[in-house]
């Protein structure tokens, strides 16, 4: 099977993207929303038109066979997939391109690249699928501390190495993409069932390093809970945690590396807890008068101990935008799934919780109901969404998302404050109203994870500062109202100012110290999560 290489600009592989029909549908409502008839369109440069600085270093002979300084490799590893990445890519700005991209084929080569980075005073950025929307993979170097930038792309570490059917676990290399992972598990009738929106173009190691949020809307929301043990290569050597179903031996070593965003080491392998493939399903969509009423029903479900696999509310506008509703009602996409037993009791009780809050089930409630109707429409839109962004940014349409979590007792006020602040910032930044919608991606007994989408019409040339005005206002509102700056998108560099307010300063000190112990030269992903300790930075 031959697959095209990943695009240097945009989502997915070369040749992939929205059909003309999908593009028209994605653009359809913007003229009405922004009251314009025409969009100025800018075309991103061809790869051959992009100019890069000459590489500041070259790999030693032993590493050269798996390293590249070709323009394609450097350009395709400059950015993730954030809005600001797209804007800069659109204008051919690749100042932060890495000098070398290394594609190690095993752990020894990975360690060799780390050694090389240390001896050449180069910053090193671990790179999975490059789907970061928070500036997590861009080598933003401060001018004095580093002589060059190396990006470590783990795509060749792409195998399921070992299966433990009895314990339902597998040892898996960290550079594997979602579809390949599931394909290698399928013959064993096992599945990880971790399906972030980036599933096709993100990796196991990336999910772990960023505390990715996945398929399950309740209970097993983050990848964290599926990690049984880890292998990590640090500049000071490799470590491996024990395969244990549970432990109380000191602070969890895994939990230090889960969410470490590449600053402590490079995750090369993990034993992951797996699921049997589901055989029983129950689900459907439920309509509610409004978003908050739906939220109260979801709270009841979340506190009932039912643990639905899917339990996502779309506010009326978001339901309309994604084709899941007509804009007059909030839609709850509800689904249970299980390999072991029928789910009528679970689904019936969840529907009772909905009914107690005036929720009305949609028709199609067959066993596969959650694939049809409002739920199915929303699901398709969800999967194709990332392809739309590269088409919108060309037209100066600022379409972006941000996500958070908050306890139930603060949720309604929180939602209104964040939405109002974001709407106001859109008007301030662009001079015209935009739109802010909300859904829940995950729910907990003590609160939801609200996910906001906003739409604004910017202006080429000012796009980045307009976006930043909106993003800053939204982030500021999230943090001021008590939320987290990210429920599952990670911190990267884009969220740093608000992360720095969210986490206790003393914890940051402890994390910096831990980084100092594992990465004493401060090579790994500088600027992500913490600044390198001063003492850890060599003079240039």
Please report whether residue 258 would count as binding a second copy according to CB under 8 A: yes
- Indicate the residue among 258 and 286 with the shorter CB distance to a second copy: 258
Rounded to whole angstroms, how far apart are CA atoms 113 and 421? 45
Minimum separation from the CB atom of position 264 to a second copy (A): 7
Please report whether residue 395 would count as binding a second copy according to CB under 8 A: no
The closest alpha carbon to 75, from 44, 40, 42, 106, belongs to 44
450's CB contacts (< 8 A; 6+ apart) are 403, 404, 405, 406, 411, 414, 415, 418, 438, 439, 440
For residues 275-296, one letter each, b for 16 or more C-beta atoms within 10 angstroms of the residue's C-beta and e for the rest, the string is beebeebbbbbbbbeebbbbbb
Sign of the alpha-carbon dihedral angle for 12, 269, 515, 114: negative
Residues 53-82 that bind a second copy (CB under 8 A): none
- Indicate the residue among 97 and 266 with the shorter CB distance to a second copy: 266
Please report whether residue 509 would count as binding a second copy according to CB under 8 A: yes
The closest alpha carbon to 471, from 440, 441, 438, 436, belongs to 436
Please report whether residue 4 would count as binding a second copy according to CB under 8 A: no
Of the residues 35, 255, 279, 432, which one makes contact with a second copy according to CB under 8 A: 255
Residues 182-211 that bind a second copy (CB under 8 A): 210-211
User: In this chain, which stretch among 8-16, 234-242, 286-294, 453-461 interacts with a second copy, using CB under 8 A?
Assistant: 234-242
- Indicate the residue among 305 and 431 with the shorter CB distance to a second copy: 305
Please report whether residue 413 would count as binding a second copy according to CB under 8 A: no
Mask 335-354, x = binds a second copy (CB under 8 A)?
Answer: ---xxxx--xxx--x-----
Residues 126-145 that bind a second copy (CB under 8 A): none
Residues 518-537 that bind a second copy (CB under 8 A): 518, 529
- Indicate the residue among 463 and 477 with the shorter CB distance to a second copy: 477
* 152 and 124 Cβ atoms separated by less than 8 Å: yes
- Indicate the residue among 53 and 341 with the shorter CB distance to a second copy: 341
Cα distances from 422 to residues 280, 493, 507, in angstroms, run: 41, 21, 30
Please report whether residue 486 would count as binding a second copy according to CB under 8 A: yes
Of the residues 331, 333, 485, 523, which one makes contact with a second copy according to CB under 8 A: 485
Q: How many residues sit close enough to a second copy to count as binding (CB under 8 A)?
A: 97
Please report whether residue 261 would count as binding a second copy according to CB under 8 A: yes
* E-strand stretches of 249-362: 266-273, 275-276, 280-288, 310-314, 330-338, 360-361
Please report whether residue 416 would count as binding a second copy according to CB under 8 A: no
Please report whether residue 270 would count as binding a second copy according to CB under 8 A: no
285's CB contacts (< 8 A; 6+ apart) are 324, 331, 332, 333, 334, 361, 362, 369, 370, 373, 374, 375
Scanning 102-252, the segments in alpha helix (DSSP H) are 107-119, 178-185, 204-209
Please report whether residue 241 would count as binding a second copy according to CB under 8 A: yes
Angle at 80 between CA 75 and CA 81, to 5 degrees: 115
- Indicate the residue among 42 and 514 with the shorter CB distance to a second copy: 514
Cα distances from 480 to residues 91, 266, 466, 474, in angstroms, run: 34, 33, 21, 10
- Indicate the residue among 168 and 538 with the shorter CB distance to a second copy: 168
Please report whether residue 444 would count as binding a second copy according to CB under 8 A: yes
Please report whether residue 499 would count as binding a second copy according to CB under 8 A: yes
Conformational region of residue 102, where left means phi above 0, alpha means psi within -120 to 50, and beta covers everything else:
beta
* 34 and 432 Cβ atoms separated by less than 8 Å: yes
* E-strand stretches of 411-534: 435-444, 447-457
Mask 352-381, x = binds a second copy (CB under 8 A)?
Answer: ------------------------------
Please report whether residue 245 would count as binding a second copy according to CB under 8 A: yes
The closest alpha carbon to 128, from 193, 177, 83, belongs to 177
Residue 335's CB is within 10 A of a number of other CB atoms, namely 24
Conformational region of residue 250, where left means phi above 0, alpha means psi within -120 to 50, and beta covers everything else:
left
User: In this chain, which stretch among 32-40, 178-186, 257-265, 361-369 interacts with a second copy, using CB under 8 A?
Assistant: 257-265
Of the residues 88, 281, 487, 493, which one makes contact with a second copy according to CB under 8 A: 487
* 286 and 356 Cβ atoms separated by less than 8 Å: no
User: In this chain, which stretch among 16-24, 144-152, 244-252, 394-402 interacts with a second copy, using CB under 8 A?
Assistant: 244-252
Mask 463-482, x = binds a second copy (CB under 8 A)?
Answer: -------------------x
Residues 285-344 that bind a second copy (CB under 8 A): 299, 303-307, 338-341, 344
Rounded to whole angstroms, how far apart are CA atoms 442 and 311? 7
- Indicate the residue among 56 and 273 with the shorter CB distance to a second copy: 273
Minimum separation from the CB atom of position 75 to a second copy (A): 28
* 393 and 455 Cβ atoms separated by less than 8 Å: no
Cα distances from 209 to residues 136, 389, 488, in angstroms, run: 10, 24, 11
Please report whether residue 5 would count as binding a second copy according to CB under 8 A: no
Minimum separation from the CB atom of position 162 to a second copy (A): 11
- Indicate the residue among 170 and 331 with the shorter CB distance to a second copy: 170
Please report whether residue 217 would count as binding a second copy according to CB under 8 A: no
User: In this chain, which stretch among 48-56, 312-320, 369-377, 407-415 interacts with a second copy, using CB under 8 A?
Assistant: 407-415
């Amino acid at each position: 099977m031959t697959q095209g290489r990943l695009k240097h600009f945009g989502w997915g592989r070369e040749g992939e993207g929205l059909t003309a029909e999908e593009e028209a549908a994605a653009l359809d409502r913007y003229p009405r929303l922004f009251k314009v008839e025409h969009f100025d369109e800018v075309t991103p440069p061809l790869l051959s038109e992009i100019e890069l600085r000459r590489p500041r270093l070259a790999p030693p002979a032993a590493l050269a066979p798996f390293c590249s300084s070709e323009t394609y490799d450097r350009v395709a590893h400059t950015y993730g997939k954030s809005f600001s990445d797209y804007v800069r890519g659109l204008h051919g700005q690749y100042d932060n391109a890495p000098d070398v991209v290394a594609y190690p084929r095993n752990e020894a080569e990975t360690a060799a690249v780390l050694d090389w980075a240390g001896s050449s005073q180069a910053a090193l950025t671990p790179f999975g699928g490059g789907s970061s929307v928070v500036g997590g993979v861009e080598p933003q170097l401060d001018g004095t501390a580093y002589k060059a930038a190396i990006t470590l792309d783990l795509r060749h570490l792409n195998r399921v190495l070992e299966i433990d059917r009895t314990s339902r676990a597998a040892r898996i290399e960290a550079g594997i993409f979602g579809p390949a992972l599931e394909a290698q598990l399928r013959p064993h009738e096992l599945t990880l069932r971790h399906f972030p929106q980036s599933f096709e173009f993100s990796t196991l190691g990336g999910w772990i390093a960023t505390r990715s949020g996945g398929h399950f809307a309740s209970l097993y929301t983050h990848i964290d809970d599926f990690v049984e043990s880890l292998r990590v290569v640090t500049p000071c050597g490799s470590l491996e945690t024990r395969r244990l179903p549970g432990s109380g031996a000191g602070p969890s070593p895994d939990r230090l590396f889960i969410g470490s965003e590449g600053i402590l080491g490079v995750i090369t392998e993990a034993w992951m807890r797996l699921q049997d493939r589901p055989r029983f399903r129950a689900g459907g969509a439920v309509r509610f008068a409004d978003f908050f009423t739906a939220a109260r029903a979801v709270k009841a479900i979340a506190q009932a101990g039912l643990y639905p696999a899917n339990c996502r509310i779309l506010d009326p506008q978001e339901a309309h935008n994604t084709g899941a509703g007509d804009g007059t009602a909030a839609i709850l996409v509800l689904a249970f799934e299980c390999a072991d037993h029928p789910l009528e009791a679970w689904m019936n009780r969840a529907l009772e919780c909905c009914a107690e809050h005036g929720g009305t089930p949609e028709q199609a409630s067959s066993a596969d109901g959650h694939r049809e109707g409002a739920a199915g429409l929303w699901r398709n839109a969800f999967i194709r969404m990332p392809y739309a962004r590269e088409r919108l940014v060309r037209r100066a349409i600022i379409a972006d998302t941000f996500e958070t979590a908050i306890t139930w007792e603060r949720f309604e006020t929180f939602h209104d404050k964040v939405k109002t602040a974001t709407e106001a910032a859109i008007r301030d930044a662009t001079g015209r109203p935009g739109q802010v919608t909300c859904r829940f991606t995950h729910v907990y007994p003590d609160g939801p994870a609200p996910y906001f989408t906003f739409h604004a019409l910017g202006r080429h040339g000012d796009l980045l500062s307009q976006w930043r005005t909106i993003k800053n206002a939204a982030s500021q509102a999230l943090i001021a109202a008590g939320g987290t700056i990210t429920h599952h998108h990670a911190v990267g560099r884009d969220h740093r100012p608000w992360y720095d307010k969210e986490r206790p300063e003393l914890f940051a000190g402890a994390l910096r110290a831990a980084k100092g112990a594992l990465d004493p030269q401060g090579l790994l992903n500088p600027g992500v999560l913490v600044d390198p300790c001063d003492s850890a930075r060599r003079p240039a």
